[in-house]
Every structure is written in structure tokens, then in C-alpha cells.
Structure 1
Amino acid sequence: MTNLPSLEVCLSPALLHLYDTKDTVVVIIDVFRATSTIAAALDNGARCVVPVASVEECISLKDKLDNCITAGERDGKVAPGLQYGNSPLEYPTSFIQHKTLALTTTNGTKLLHMVSDADSIITGSFLNMDAVCAYLIRQNKKVLLACSAWKDRVNIEDSLFAGAVAEKIKEHFTMECDSARMARELYLQSQQYPSILEFVKDSNHYRRLSGFGLQKDLQYCTTPNLHPVVPIYNGKELVVAS
């Protein structure tokens, strides 16, 4: 058991500085909705997704990158100046195939840019859960499941996904991190509900986004394994891991 790599969970970007990400596979998690949108866009044929920290930088990429769509949100709404939003349902194959998606979001793309020295950075969501789990087992390296949270405040859906991954791959890793244990317990508790969606319906983030009429997004984002790809960050863009 002692030869197994470790798995830790960071519940908020505000806690990231407490974790050593060197020689680590970091999984960026933003279930509602950035990492769900990234998985959907890439599985539906996008050439790549360029994660951008600011709205201004995202807008500027429209004329700099070939066949580029600018998209994203602030506080759950499409940010002024961007062409499209942060919904996985906006990017079917008929629209996104062979295009570059420049994406900026309130939480997910921010956290991705905060990680500087990892062995590799991938993105995870319920939409690509099993693909992420299989990838982490194959890599056989230390793992940090990093939750984007909501403006640094811990949220249920990202913690729940981290717990699902931790539970599914627990035999391949050591987990001495209390956050990982808490996330696993949350996931096990959720199994008493009819669906992931039912479990998260009382969460702040669900109520906030459903107030914008995004219930279809939320249902889609909590559906496991619709997009079995592993988006990996090469320092510039997210592409499908080989």
C-alpha cells in the first residue's frame, strides 16, 4: 500500500497554496459549468479550447486565432463582448467541429491558470468521469483533485465530483487527506438519491443558475459519461489527451 501514489482534494482555489503540485496530475473541476463545456466541446470536435483568465483577453483572441469562437460568463451570464456562453449545450458537433473555443469563466479558467508546476493538468466533470478515472489510474502518479468552487467558497457539485473520483479509484491511491475523505463521504451520501441532480438541487450554485433558466444545463452537467474524453492542458490550450 505504501508504494501507491497519493490522492488529495483541494476544495477551493483559496486553499491551493497549501498543496504541492510538483510531479502531480492536477484535475481542474468546475461542474457548473466550465469543465463540462470543455469536455462537450472537445468531444464534439472542437480543435482545441483556449482557457483565458479575462474577458478582455478572450475578446482579443477572436481576430488572433483561426476560426475562433469567443465564449464565457461572469456570475453565470454571458459576459458582454463575447459571442457565446458557458453552456455545454451550445456546442454540438454541427457548430463546434474544427473550431477553436476561447473560453473565460468566473471560476474554472481562473483556477487552471493558478496551477504552475504540475506534471500535467486535465479537466474533469461528470460528463467525462470514467475517462478521467481511467486516465489517473494509467498515469500512476500523485493526484490533486482541485475544485473551482464559487468565488473561493466551497460548493457541493465540485466537491461531489471529487468524491466520486476518489471513491472510484481508491484502490489505486493512498488517501490520507481529510478533504478527500470528506468528499468521498459526500459522494456516498449522494448515492441514496435518485440522481446527482436531485442531490445538488438545494445548493447555492444550482439555485443561482436555475434562476437564470439554466435547468437544462444543470441536468446535462450532472449526467455521467456523455463525453468520454480527457482534456489536457499543454500550457496554451486544452486538447484531447491521446
Structure 2
Amino acid sequence: MAQNPTLYTSLSPALLHLYDVKDSVVVVIDVFRATSTIAAALHNGAKYIIPVDTVPKAVEISAAVGGIAAGERDGKLAEGLHHGNSPLEYTKDFIEDKILVLTTTNGTRLLHMALVNGADDVVTGSFPNLSCVCNYLIKQNKNVILACAGWKDRFNIEDALFAGAVISKVKSHFTIHCDSSFMVEQLYSQHQHDLLKFAENLTHYHRLVNRFGYIDDIAFCLTEDVADVLPLYKEEKLVKG
């Protein structure tokens, strides 16, 4: 009987180099807010998304392709850009048939790290597209790395919660001997029935809600399957898979 593929959870970009991403599906997770925004934009008809690691690159590439340069630094609109990292900003009326060039503090940086480390199968995940991600992982039948973006290489709980949600739905299809995976699944199982209430304790919640008032963003980012698309990285673009 063939052994199931393995699944590991990397709790921070600083730990990603410890995992073999080459023959794995890497799920880039940045719940507040990059991967939620990516799901929202593709769900609402964006042609594709180009993730970049710097603001100047976002400006340059968007000008070249006639796209929308967007992103944030430290939770607020990045200087030089006119559109931020709120999933609610990318409505169908605004984003349909357009190209989004996105740069964020943690999520797009992690995506580039995965590529540099040799990943050839990269998707992005958040609660709004949970089921699509889980279905893809089961169907691919490959090793999986759940890669949490955290905050400037530090651990954060919201990304861990999403990793736990994935594990709770796919674990029968994988071999999992990984303490971080066990921990995040336990965390999710304890709080899955009221994620928004639990989120009030989180550092990034305080940063985004108390400083900037983004409570509606947070609620969207913690709602399962409201933008159920699979953002798949192909030829330097995130496309609807």
C-alpha cells in the first residue's frame, strides 16, 4: 500500500529553509490580509495578480502592463500607491478584467522566498478560499508545506489558525509527524466556532483594528469560503486555478 504524502507547517518565513519545498505544494498563508485580498480579487474577476516584493517594482510593472499598483507596508497604504491591501476594496465593479500588481509586508515576500527555494507548485490560502485549497491539496496527492507569513519573521496566530483549519479537513490524506501541525490543528479546533471573537486577542488584530479601523476586513478574512477560488502561481502570476 502506497504511503500518503507528508504535510508540514512552517510557522515563520525564517523557518521555511528547513523544509524541502522542491517536490511539495507550498501554501502561502497571510490571512491578515494579503492572501485574503488575493482570493477576493480573483473571485471578483481580476485577470491575474502579479505579486512583487517592493513598492517601486509594483509601480514600474503596473505601468508596463496597464495594471493597478497596490499594497501596504506595516498595515497601511504604501507610499506611492493609491490602492491598499483591503480585500473589500477589490469589488467586481472595480477589479473585473484588470491586472493587480500587489506588494505586502509579509505575504508577497514569503511567496518569493518559496520560489527562490525551488518551489514549483505554489498556491495562496486564507479562510475565504479554504475549501478550494483543501480540495487541491487532496487532488494533487503531493507533499505539502503550509507556509505561514507571520509578521516580519515572527509567529502570528491567524496564519496558524488557517493552517490548522486546512489540517483538520485534509489530515486523513496525509502522513503528519510534525509538532507545529499538531499544535495549529489543536488551536483551530478550540476556536473554530468563534474565530472573530478569539481574534480580538491577536497582535495583528490590534494593529489593524485599533490603529486603522479595519474590523470589516478582519471579519472577511476569517469567513470561510466567501471567495472560494484557487490562486495558483504560474509564469510569475497568480491566476485562478
Cα shift at 1:83:
1.6
Larger relative helix fraction: 2
Distance in 1 (alpha carbons) for counterparts of 2:62 and 2:232 = 22
Q: Paired residue for 1:174?
A: 175
Report the equivalent of 2:80.
81
Q: Size of the alignment, in residue pairs? A: 238
Q: Kindly state the Cα deviation for residue 184 of structure 1 after the two structures are TM-superposed.
A: 0.6
- The alpha carbon displacement at 1:228 in A equals 1.1
Residue correspondence of structure 1 range 92-107 to structure 2 within 5 A: 92-107=91-106
**1:159-170 mapped onto 2 (5 Å cutoff):** 159-170=160-171
Shift of 1:119: 3.4
Gaps of 5+ in 1: none
Runs (5+) with no aligned partner, structure 2: none
Partner in structure 2 of residue 226 of structure 1: 226
1:10 is the counterpart of 2:21:
no
Q: Do 2:32 and 2:158's aligned partners in 1 also have CA atoms closer than 8 Å? A: yes
Give the C-alpha shift of residue 23 in structure 1: 0.7
Q: CA separation in 2, counterparts of 1:89 and 1:203?
A: 21
Give 1:63 deviation, angstroms: 1.6
Q: Distance in 1 between matches of 2:63 and 2:168?
A: 44
SS at match of 1:8: strand
Q: Where do 1:37-186 residues align within 5 Å? A: 37-66=37-66, 68-116=67-115, 117-186=118-187
8 Å Cα contact 1:12/1:148 also seen in 2: yes
How much is the aligned-residue C-alpha RMSD, in angstroms?
Answer: 1.0
Shift of residue 62, structure 1, vs aligned partner = 2.7
Instruction: Give matches, 1:200-215, under 5 Å.
Output: 200-211=199-210, 212-215=212-215
Letter matched to residue 158 of structure 2: E
The aligned amino acid for 1:105 is T
Deviation for aligned residue 1:2: 6.3
Displacement of 1:100 in angstroms is 0.3
> CA offsets per residue over residues 170-204 of structure 1, 9 Å max, x none?
1000100111111111111113xx42111111000
TM-score by length of 1: 0.96
Q: What do residues 91-123 of structure 1 show as CA deviations (whole Å, max 9, x unaligned)?
A: 110110000000000000000000121230000
Task: Specify whether residues 119 and 60 from structure 1 end up closer, same or farther in structure 2 by C-alpha distance, changes over 3 A only.
Answer: closer
- State whether residues 2 and 174 of structure 1, in contact with CA within 8 Å, keep that contact through their aligned partners in structure 2: no
Contact 2:62 2:100 in 1 (8 A): no
Q: 1:150-174, CA deviations, whole angstroms, 9 ceiling, x for partnerless residues?
A: 1111000000000110111010001
